[in-house]
Chains A and B, each alone.
Chain A
Amino acid sequence: MSPEPRHQALLSVRGLGVFRPGPGGEVAALRDIDLDLQPQECLGIVGESGCGKTQLLHALMGLQSGNVRLAGSVRFRGEELLGASAQRLALVRGRRLALVFQDALSALNPYLRIATQMTEGARAQLGLSRRAAWQRAATLLESLQIDAPARRLRQYPHELSGGMRQRVLIAMALMCEPDVLLLDEPTTALDVTVQAQVLAVLRELRARSGVAMIFVTHDLGVLAAIADRVAVMYAGRIVEQAAAAHLYATPRHPYTAGLLHSMPRLDTPLDTRLSTIPGQPPRSGATSTGCAFAPRCPLAHERCTQLPVLRCADNQFPANGTVACHYDGPAQGLREIWP
Chain B
Amino acid sequence: MSAPVAVAERRPRRELWRRLCARRSTRAALLTLGLIVLAAVLVPWLSPYDYSSPSWTHIFTAPTWAGGQVFGTDALGRDLLVRVMWGCRISLLVGLVASVVSVVIGVLWGATAGYLGGRTDALLMRSVDVLYSVPFIPLVIVLNVLFGRHLVLVFIGIGAVSWLDIARIVRGQTLAICSREYVDAARALGVRTPAMICRHVVPNIMGIVIVYATLTVPAVILFEALLSFLGLGVQAPLASLGSLVADGASEMQSNPYLLIIPSILLALIVLCLNHLGDALRDALDPHEP
Given the complex, which residues of A lie within 8 Å of B190, measured CB to CB? none
Q: Mark B1-13, 1 if CB is under 8 A from A, else 0.
A: 1010000000000
Given the complex, which residues of A lie within 8 Å of B289, measured CB to CB? 23
Whole-angstrom CA separation of A283 from B3 in the bound complex: 10
CB distance from A213 to the nearest CB of B (A): 30
Q: Mark B252-289, 1 if CB is under 8 A from A, else 0.
A: 00000000000000000000000000000000000001
Task: Tell me the nearest residue of chain B to A50, going by C-beta.
Answer: B1
CB distance from A280 to the nearest CB of B (A): 11
CB distance from B135 to the nearest CB of A (A): 34
CB distance from B22 to the nearest CB of A (A): 11
Whole-angstrom CA separation of A23 from B1 in the bound complex: 12
Given the complex, which residues of B lie within 8 Å of A283, measured CB to CB? 1, 3
Q: Mark A162-192, 1 if CB is under 8 A from B, else 0.
A: 0000000000000000000000000000000
Whole-angstrom CA separation of A283 from B1 in the bound complex: 8
Task: Sort chain A's interface into a size bin.
Answer: under 10
Whole-angstrom CA separation of A283 from B2 in the bound complex: 10
- B residues 1-42 near A (Cβ < 8 Å) are 1, 3
Given the complex, which residues of A lie within 8 Å of B3, measured CB to CB? 283
Whole-angstrom CA separation of A283 from B4 in the bound complex: 13
Task: Tell me the nearest residue of chain A to B3, going by C-beta.
Answer: A283
Whole-angstrom CA separation of A23 from B19 in the bound complex: 14
Task: Tell me the nearest residue of chain B to A23, going by C-beta.
Answer: B289
CB distance from B163 to the nearest CB of A (A): 33
- A residues 1-45 near B (Cβ < 8 Å) are 23
Given the complex, which residues of B lie within 8 Å of A23, measured CB to CB? 289
CB distance from A50 to the nearest CB of B (A): 8
- A residues 229-275 near B (Cβ < 8 Å) are none
Task: Tell me the nearest residue of chain A to B2, going by C-beta.
Answer: A283
CB distance from B118 to the nearest CB of A (A): 28
Q: Mark B58-89, 1 if CB is under 8 A from A, else 0.
A: 00000000000000000000000000000000
Given the complex, which residues of A lie within 8 Å of B1, measured CB to CB? 283
Whole-angstrom CA separation of A23 from B22 in the bound complex: 13
CB distance from B6 to the nearest CB of A (A): 12
- B residues 157-203 near A (Cβ < 8 Å) are none
CB distance from B23 to the nearest CB of A (A): 15
Q: Mark A272-292, 1 if CB is under 8 A from B, else 0.
A: 000000000001000000000
Whole-angstrom CA separation of A236 from B3 in the bound complex: 20
Whole-angstrom CA separation of A20 from B124 in the bound complex: 48
CB distance from A287 to the nearest CB of B (A): 15
Whole-angstrom CA separation of A23 from B3 in the bound complex: 13
CB distance from B5 to the nearest CB of A (A): 13
- A residues 279-309 near B (Cβ < 8 Å) are 283
Task: Tell me the nearest residue of chain A to B4, going by C-beta.
Answer: A23
Whole-angstrom CA separation of A24 from B200 in the bound complex: 36
CB distance from A54 to the nearest CB of B (A): 14
CB distance from B1 to the nearest CB of A (A): 7
CB distance from A258 to the nearest CB of B (A): 23
CB distance from B264 to the nearest CB of A (A): 38
CB distance from B267 to the nearest CB of A (A): 34
Task: Tell me the nearest residue of chain A to B1, going by C-beta.
Answer: A283
Question: Which 3 residue pairs across A and B have the least CB separation, nearest first?
Answer: A23-B289, A283-B1, A283-B3
Residues of chain B touching chain A, judged by Cβ–Cβ distance below 8 Å, are 1, 3, 289
3 contacts between A and B (CB under 8 A): A23-B289, A283-B1, A283-B3
Residues of chain A touching chain B, judged by Cβ–Cβ distance below 8 Å, are 23, 283
